[in-house]
């Protein structure tokens, strides 16, 4: 296993209140998940995805290769789980890749206008991702993008649009059949925020250079860790720790990294956890921070603000690329004491110093360590997180696989728009 969870010091800091009860409740919740008997069990298809073989993805791989070799840009149109998983992986692994754009996750005329203008002189593909095809944000964006594609490609437009949608029903499925778009299926038993290992996440990731065999190897390792019927299971321990902290008055979890490339991984995590646990007046608020950058803005509050928070760090142990500090002629910045030190070592000391400072300031802390930032480690972590939030949701007594509150803003918006 390439991902390990360090919670030893955190566990030693727990007040005795609720610990034994939570331990038993979390073990019951793990069994509810593994036995597929808990609320929302009809949406547990994500548990089977790590066990797929590369051969099952041959059609997807062919289309991804075509996009990679034939187009300047791929535009992914989707919102929430329809884009966050792909963006998290691509930004973490291929931040220099400038061949992908994301649309349909906002209603900004400024952003959409900029994209349309850029595409006028680009050879592009569109991957529109929606189970229904009627969600407002991606639906509006796709209208504009489809019109531009039809103007640019004429009768060849159908070859430029790939739809990832429901297997048999919905507006996007109907449109795809009418227009002759190539399609990939979003499984009925997989919710959007758990869909990174379906065509929703994998088509964009493979089209930007992801290695499918490494992805599935990492996902399988995450499955093996998350499905262990053992209290050393990192997903079990993470869920248990979150529940203990919640019962001891913590309200906010900060997912903190020291690697800017992992920014959108935290955005994906926020949706996964926020939509899964934030129900019935329960759940922790998922926040994130990019260190050391945010230590110069949020650091003061984390160190000395309201003590209703805890932190989970994501730490990379080995870097593929590194730099060493060189000696300066005058040492005006006073940094010659770092001469010969590698940036990875400096970054690690910043993490260790920050962790100690926050612990001293009364912030409970644990950490996930990734051996390196690659497909195997990343997908192992993603699957562990999926298991953890499912277990945690069951400890709260909520269904981790629905999102009834998401509809509230839509009803108000539709009324104001005159739908």
Least Cα distance to 208 among 104, 319, 321, 86 occurs for 86
Q: Annotated catalytic residue: which of 169, 282, 410, 411?
A: 410
Strands 252-257 and 285-290: what pairing? parallel
Q: What is the C-alpha end-to-end distance of the chain, expressed in Å?
A: 51
The reply to whether 37 belongs to the active site is no
CB 118 within 8 A of CB 66: no
Distance between CA atoms of residues 275 and 261, nearest Å: 24
CA 130 to chain centroid, in Å, comes to 17
Least Cα distance to 184 among 195, 54, 193 occurs for 195
The reply to whether 410 belongs to the active site is yes
Neighbours of 234 (CB within 10 A): 24
Q: Annotated catalytic residue: which of 296, 326, 407, 419?
A: 296
Q: Annotated catalytic residue: which of 275, 311, 380, 386?
A: 275
CB 74 within 8 A of CB 67: yes
The DSSP secondary structure of 181-236, one letter per residue, reads -EEEEPPTTS-GGG-TTSHHHHHHHHHTT--HHHHHHHHHHHHHHHT-SSTT-HHH
The reply to whether 296 belongs to the active site is yes
Active site residues: 275, 296, 410
């Amino acid at each position: 296993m390439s991902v390990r969870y360090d919670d030893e010091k955190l566990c030693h800091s727990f007040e005795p209140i609720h610990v034994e009860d939570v331990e038993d409740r979390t073990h019951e919740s793990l069994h509810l998940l593994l036995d597929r008997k808990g609320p929302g069990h009809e949406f547990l298809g994500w548990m089977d995805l790590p066990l797929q073989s590369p051969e099952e993805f041959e059609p997807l791989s062919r289309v991804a290769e075509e996009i990679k070799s034939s187009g300047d840009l791929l535009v992914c149109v989707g919102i929430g789980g329809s884009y966050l998983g792909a963006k998290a992986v691509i930004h973490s692994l291929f931040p220099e890749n400038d061949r992908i754009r994301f649309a349909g996750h906002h209603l900004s005329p400024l952003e959409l206008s900029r994209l349309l203008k850029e595409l006028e002189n680009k050879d592009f593909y569109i991957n529109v991702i929606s189970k229904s095809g009627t969600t407002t944000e991606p639906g509006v964006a796709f209208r504009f993008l489809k019109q531009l594609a039809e103007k640019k490609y004429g009768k060849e437009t159908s070859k430029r649009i790939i739809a990832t949608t429901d297997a048999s029903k919905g507006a996007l499925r109907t449109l795809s059949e009418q227009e002759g778009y190539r399609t990939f299926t979003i499984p009925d038993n997989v919710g959007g925020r758990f869909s990174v290992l379906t065509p929703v996440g994998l088509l964009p990731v493979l089209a930007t250079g992801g290695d499918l065999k490494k992805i599935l190897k990492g996902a399988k390792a995450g499955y093996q860790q998350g499905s262990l019927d053992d209290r050393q299971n990192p997903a079990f321990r993470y869920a248990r720790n979150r529940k203990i902290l919640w019962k001891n008055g913590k309200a906010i979890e900060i997912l903190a990294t020291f690697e800017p490339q992992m920014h959108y991984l935290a955005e994906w995590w926020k949706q996964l956890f926020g939509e899964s646990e934030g129900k019935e007046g329960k759940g922790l608020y998922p926040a994130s921070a990019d260190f050391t950058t945010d230590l110069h803005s949020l650091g003061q509050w984390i160190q000395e603000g309201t003590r209703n928070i805890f932190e989970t760090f994501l730490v990379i142990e080995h870097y593929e690329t590194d730099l060493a500090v060189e000696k300066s002629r005058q040492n005006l910045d006073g940094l010659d004491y770092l001469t010969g030190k590698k940036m990875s070592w400096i970054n690690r000391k910043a993490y260790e110093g920050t962790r100690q400072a926050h612990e001293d300031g009364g912030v409970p802390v644990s950490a996930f360590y990734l051996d390196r930032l690659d497909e195997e480690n990343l997908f192992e972590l993603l699957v562990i997180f999926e298991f953890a939030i499912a277990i945690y949701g069951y400890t709260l007594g909520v269904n981790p696989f629905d999102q009834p509150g998401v509809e509230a803003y839509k009803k108000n918006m539709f009324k104001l728009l005159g739908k």
